[in-house]
Structure 1
Amino acid sequence: MSNASIAASAYANTAKLSNPLEAASESGDKSGAFGNMVQSAISEINESGQIADVQSLDLLQGKANVVDVVTAVAETELALETVVSVRDRVISAYEEIMRMPI
């Protein structure tokens, strides 16, 4: 997978995370849309992490460029930070709902 396609995929996932209602309406399944979105994001982070690992090993063997490795690691880090941010917002929303009087 090339860096351009990884970047395009990361951008698309970030767009989905920033507007989950549109992502749910596009898929047509609103019941598990958030869970599917989170599962998809985690699997893509895992995939990008594996790509970064492979490129790191290739660098050690002299087969890869340092710039490609740094880019892959940075993309993985950005995706992970995005998921952690979404998780924090979900927890914050849950806590706010729990503080509401009945």
Structure 2
Amino acid sequence: MAIPVNAATNAYASAAKLLQQARPSALNQVAEAGQGDDFAKMLGQAVQGVVDSGKVADTKAMEMVNGRGDMVDVVTAISQTELAMDTMVTVRDRVISAYEEIMRMPI
């Protein structure tokens, strides 16, 4: 089963749109809570980095489809995107785990 290259482009565009929508509300709320400004910036930059690496991988894939790209560049870009995504998922899981542990602490 082949997935159209446009599906990947649409997925990255959707992720970028969600990031732009999340910044004004959720990330600003974290920043307004106190010392969270640096964390909110770091989180936004990390998500933007994943979106950017996805765009690079998509661009490399489109170049290869058009006959101007190199397979090694495509595989490298996809691997970097996969690593960035895995890192973000791991960080998310650790943050959720830390939050759950804090919620279990007795007051």
* TM-score (ref. length: structure 1): 0.69
Aligned to 1:31, which of 33, 36, 58? 36
Letter in 2 for 1:35: A
Aligned to 1:55, which of 60, 68, 83? 60
Higher RCO (C-alpha 8 Å, min separation 6): 1
In structure 2, distance between residues paired with 1:62 and 1:34? 42
The aligned counterpart of 1:6 is none
Count of matched residue pairs:
73
The aligned counterpart of 1:83 is 88
How far is the alpha carbon of 1:33 from its aligned partner?
Answer: 1.3
Structure 1: any 5+ residue segments left out of the alignment? Answer: 1-29
* TM-score (ref. length: structure 2): 0.65
Question: In terms of mean alpha carbon deviation, does 90-99 or 33-42 score higher?
Answer: 33-42
The sequence identity of aligned pairs, in percent, is: 51
RMSD: 0.9
Runs of 4+ in 1 over 2 A off after TM superposition: none
